[in-house]
Amino acid sequence: MSPIENRKANKIKHEEIRRYKIIQMTDGVLIPKKNDGSVLNSWRVTFIFSIALLFTLVVFFPDPYRKIFLFVITGIPVTFQATICAIIGAVLIGTLTGLGAVSKHKIINIISGVYVELIRGIPLLVQLIFIYYALGRFFSLDGMLSAIIALSICFGAYMGEIVRAGIQAIPKGQMEAAIALGMSRAQAFRFVILPQTLKIVLPAIGNEFISMLKDSSLVSAIALSDILKRGREYISRTFLSLETMLIVALVYLTITLLLSWLVGKLEERMNENA
């Protein structure tokens, strides 16, 4: 191999490694690894602090913190319902968008790009209000359905970029080899490229799920009784804004840390099976 060809090969290799690292960036850096012998680390300290503070407030200060906690946690099912349904919709939209972004068809490629740029340029709160109030005038959309549609559309754009980067992280030789074996381009994508892409993007999808859980607090703007909405309702009754928002923050923090731990374990399991 000539020096010029060698430099080109190294450049391609470094580009593939760079893409792979971008996809693999998750909350896992905060989570204790199996070979981590230290007792204290960022994730453990944060988790222990949040649990200890929440437990202390609820157990030793029942008035008002226990009352606030019992009132606020009734919004957890709504938060999870909106988040889980929306992440499924976002993955479906993101997969189609990512495939469109790498499509050889110019029109499909442009449509995918316009969708990503358009949705990423509009705040989620604006999308929620537009779908609930504007489209609600023409279609029968309740609060939950509006929240799921808005979250799916918004995060579908980000999922599309994740899927696109994941597909492009697969060496081009994989597609060429599959076609050489007699597969069509669609079959190669389905049986060769997408399964490998899934292993790369799954940790990033888990990260988006955590982000969506936190951003789902915006659904309180369309009168859904999620965690934040229940907290605001309690404030309107008692005017205990500081105490209520402290409990709301601790509930969100605890749930987020637990989900981060699950995403980290999933990433470890995938790396072991790789």
90: containing domain: 48-273
pLDDT for 223 beyond 60: yes
117 against 202, higher pLDDT: 117
Residue 198 in any domain: the answer is yes
Residue 12 in any domain: the answer is no
When divided into structural domains, the chain yields a total of 1
Query: What integer pLDDT is reported at residue 28 of this predicted model?
Result: 47
pLDDT interval class at 24 (50, 70, 90)? very low
Can you tell me which residue has the tokens 């609930």? 132
pLDDT for 245 beyond 90: yes
Query: What integer pLDDT is reported at residue 83 of this predicted model?
Result: 95
pLDDT in tens, 29-69: 455 565 655 556 788 889 999 999 999 999 999 999 999 99
Residue 11 in any domain: the answer is no
Query: What integer pLDDT is reported at residue 20 of this predicted model?
Result: 44
Mean pLDDT score, 20-32? 48
Q: What percent of the chain has pLDDT over 70?
A: 85
Nearest to 99 by CA among 177, 190, 163, 162: 163
Residue 148 in any domain: the answer is yes
Domain CATH code at residue 129: 1.10.3720.10
Residue 43 in any domain: the answer is no
Query: What integer pLDDT is reported at residue 175 of this predicted model?
Result: 83
pLDDT in tens, 124-176: 999 999 999 888 788 888 889 999 999 999 999 999 999 999 988 888 888 88
Residue 21 in any domain: the answer is no
128 CB-near residues (< 8 Å, 6+ apart): 146, 147, 150, 218, 219, 221, 222
Query: What integer pLDDT is reported at residue 192 of this predicted model?
Result: 86
pLDDT interval class at 214 (50, 70, 90)? very high
Residue 33 in any domain: the answer is no
Of 31-40, 82-91, 101-110, least confident by mean pLDDT is 31-40
- The string over 19-52, giving b where at least 16 C-beta atoms fall within 10 Å of a residue's C-beta and e elsewhere, is beeebeebbbebbbeeeeeeeeeebbebbeebee
Query: What integer pLDDT is reported at residue 17 of this predicted model?
Result: 42
Residue 35 in any domain: the answer is no
5 against 34, higher pLDDT: 34
* CA dihedral over 126, 162, 86, 92, signed as positive or negative: positive
pLDDT for 253 beyond 70: yes
CB of 216 closer than 8 Å to CB of 83: yes
Mean pLDDT taken over the chain: 85
